[in-house]
Amino acid sequence: MHPNRRSLLGQIALLPVLPSLARAAGDVVELEWADLIPDGDGGVKLDALRKLGVVQHGELTTGFEQEEAAAVTNAYNGKIVRLPGFVVPLDFDATGITAFILAPFVGACIHVPPPPANQLVFVTTESPFESKGLYEPVYVTGMFGTAATGTQLAEIGYALSAEKIESYN
């Protein structure tokens, strides 16, 4: 396991473990990716990356690296949120994916340089998710919080303990 992933797992453990109590205090917050960018943290390169679409390894001719955007918002810490995105698998077991990066557009972290950290969410789930592939959009619902970490693919700004992962229709 990557050393920074251990610290992330410890941070995720600090998220409240009783999501039903949080839900009782209010409804599920429907998030858009723009909600995760604090005011004044533009994301110009992120827009440029989205316009590239899916690019195969070795075909990228621009000098893009992961945009350094460490600014995150704490507005949704400890809340149950629902966020759409694409799955970038990290950990598996015999029945499915148990940890993944949720990314705002298809191919992020795989075929193009990754989005900034404030546009990536590290998701863990107790019930393994049977993904149909990298091009399947999903909704993830669960306890959300800020948790900076690094993986071999990207720096990540948020964490989400998934209660529910469903197809985006």
The residue that leads in pLDDT, 135 or 70, is: 135
Whether the predicted pLDDT of 55 surpasses 50? no
Whether the predicted pLDDT of 5 surpasses 60? no
Structure-block tokens of residue 44 = 């110009």
Structure-block tokens of residue 26 = 């209010």
As beta bridge partners, residue 159 has 122, 145
Whether the predicted pLDDT of 64 surpasses 80? no
Q: Tell me: domain 3-53+67-164, CATH 2.60.40.10, correct? A: no
Domain-wise residue ranges, the chain = 3-53+67-164
Whether the predicted pLDDT of 156 surpasses 90? yes
pLDDT score for 163 = 96
Whether the predicted pLDDT of 17 surpasses 90? no
Q: How far is CA 144 from the centre of its chain?
A: 10
pLDDT score for 10 = 45
Whether the predicted pLDDT of 60 surpasses 50? no
Confidence of residue 145 (pLDDT cuts 50, 70, 90): very high
27 Cβ contact partners less than 8 Å away, ≥ 6 residues apart: none
Nearest to 43 by CA among 66, 18, 14, 11: 66
Tens of pLDDT, residues 97-137: 999 999 998 766 665 678 889 999 999 999 999 987 777 79
Beta strands in the chain (DSSP E): 29-30, 80-93, 96-103, 121-129, 137-150, 155-167
Structure-block tokens of residue 94 = 């015999």
The arithmetic mean of pLDDT across residues 60-81, rounded, is: 71
Is residue 141 within 8 Å of residue 163, measured between CB atoms? Answer: yes
Tens of pLDDT, residues 18-50: 444 444 445 899 999 999 988 755 554 455 545
